[in-house]
Structure 1
Amino acid sequence: MRRGIELRAARVRHGPLEALHGVELAAPTGAVTVLLGRNGAGRTTVLRALAGTAKLSAGTVVWDGADVTRHAAHARAAAGLCFVPDRQAVFAALRVAEQLRLAAPDGDHRPALDAYPELRPLLDRRAGTLSGGEQRMVAVSRALLSRARVVLVDEPAQGMAPRVAARTYALLRELDAAVVLAEQRLPPGLRTGDGTVLVHELRRGAVVFSGEAGELAEADEAGGAATAG
């Protein structure tokens, strides 16, 4: 696997409280990296630290071997990082077609409509009038169109129908990028043992498991068997 983006001994503070406690994790290019954890575990803070919207109080952000800790969020975006937050991920006042055209480097938004044909009848609608699942389709489409080298998405399938969610994970797996997703649970489409899906599980701002998705499933099964016994 090629280089990607990583945190080294990363700490983030929110006022007097520390949200990340020396987090170490890597998200290589060519794989999907899933950040697992309950609300408050630190998943979103990790994404924001990678994107540059949360400042580190200690540690470093390394991207393709270079220290980008001091690079502002807009500089990381200009260098090819796309961050899709869980809220306010679309421009509510802009029409769907406008948002997709802005995201595509050449203005051609047809690949987004191939990925999500559900958006075709919505092109003239303002994004703020869409349902939550429709807004997520627009937000993920913008990430797909951007041709980013790093794609960070907080709960990509939130509000989507199961079949659309499954398609979304398949699309994200096909990207030639370092893809990092924040999830409360490992989605069915990413429970694979082929080494292309990596997992970092967080609890209370610390990483408690790092490995392949298949290893997490084996650990969960072993834990369940021990509990049953």
Structure 2
Amino acid sequence: MSTLELRAARVRYGPLEALHGVRLAAPAPGLTVLVGRNGSGRTTALRALAGTVPLSGGAVVWNGTDVTRVPAHERARRGLCFVPDRQAVFGSLTVRENLELARARGGFAPALDAYPELAPLLGRRAGTLSGGEQRMLALSRALLARAGTVLVDEPTQGMSPSVAARTYGLLRGLDACVVVAEQRLPPGLRERGGRAVTVVYELRRGEVVFAGEPGELPDGGPLAAPPARG
């Protein structure tokens, strides 16, 4: 089974260390969820996997190969798709143009099958869409890329509950290593279902404090609490 791993990863922002020797492994195919409150390090961990922030210690290992020094654009060329929480679409281009740029081959009908809400918006500039619509477009681009590894920061931000549930169904159905960062465990992931493995890591102050299956989390525990603000 292939994996994407952080091994004793450390990341510094100036004098502050955001990750303190984090270890995690995301299987493929499968869904891995990094959860934690603001400032926990979950987004930094995702960016370290993507290569958009450098490590100050430790390693990133992808399918058994150390890619710590491989730049983000080269990881993308090798099949890693990263969808950040902001500026994940080309705002000056239309929805249609965004989808055309993302497609690996063939048309972009699969994107509209996944998110039919985008069909009447094809001629609109992506920068004029609502937050939820932009997330749908960003996820559609990731689906069209057919990447073997997909990293998404807050995939359902701004989406309605029904669209969010559909989105997680799509992510769990991908034949890929999928890693997402969320403030708390998304509804519905505690139940077993489908062939995709779901692994959860909770981060707190730059360290992993829980690793396991969603069903192992205690009801009403820290991951079920409303996210912190500010």
Q: Per the shorter chain, which TM-score range?
A: over 0.9
* Equivalent residue, structure 1, for 2:171: 172
Shift of the alpha carbon at 1:217?
3.7
Count of matched residue positions in the alignment of Structure 1 and Structure 2: 222
Q: Is the 8 A contact 1:6 1:25 kept in 2?
A: yes
Q: Secondary structure at the match of 1:59?
A: strand
| Larger helix proportion of the pair | 1
Compare 184-193 and 88-97 and name the one that shifted more.
184-193
The two structures, once aligned, show a CA RMSD in angstroms of 1.7
Rounded Cα–Cα distance in structure 1 between residues aligned with 2:60 and 2:143: 23
* Equivalent residue, structure 1, for 2:156: 157
- Give me the identity figure in percent: 70
Q: Which amino acid aligns with 2:55?
A: L
Shift of the alpha carbon at 1:3?
1.2
* Equivalent residue, structure 2, for 1:227: none
Matched, 1:186 2:185: yes
Rounded Cα–Cα distance in structure 2 between residues aligned with 1:79 and 1:47: 17
Q: Which amino acid aligns with 1:78?
A: R
* Equivalent residue, structure 1, for 2:50: 51
Q: Is the 8 A contact 1:193 1:215 kept in 2?
A: no
Q: Give me the TM-score of the superposition, normalised by structure 1.
A: 0.93
* Equivalent residue, structure 1, for 2:204: 203
Query: For residues 26-66 of structure 1, what are the alpha-carbon distances to aligned partners after superposition, in whole Å with 9 as ceiling and x for unaligned?
Result: 00001110001001100110011000000000000000011
Q: Secondary structure at the match of 1:165?
A: helix
Rounded Cα–Cα distance in structure 2 between residues aligned with 1:219 and 1:70: 40
Matched, 1:16 2:28: no
Matched, 1:80 2:87: no
Q: Secondary structure at the match of 1:189?
A: coil
Q: Is the 8 A contact 1:11 1:56 kept in 2?
A: yes
Q: Secondary structure at the match of 2:73?
A: helix
Where does structure 2 lack aligned partners over 5 or more consecutive residues? 226-230
* Equivalent residue, structure 1, for 2:213: 212
* Equivalent residue, structure 1, for 2:121: 122
Q: Secondary structure at the match of 1:202?
A: strand
Rounded Cα–Cα distance in structure 2 between residues aligned with 1:47 and 1:133: 21
Q: Secondary structure at the match of 1:173?
A: helix
Rounded Cα–Cα distance in structure 2 between residues aligned with 1:118 and 1:109: 14
Shift of the alpha carbon at 1:219?
8.8
Q: Give me the TM-score of the superposition, normalised by structure 2.
A: 0.93
Rounded Cα–Cα distance in structure 1 between residues aligned with 2:29 and 2:215: 17
Rounded Cα–Cα distance in structure 2 between residues aligned with 1:160 and 1:217: 26
* Equivalent residue, structure 1, for 2:39: 40
Q: Which amino acid aligns with 1:180?
A: V
Where does structure 1 lack aligned partners over 5 or more consecutive residues? 225-229
Rounded Cα–Cα distance in structure 2 between residues aligned with 1:208 and 1:192: 22
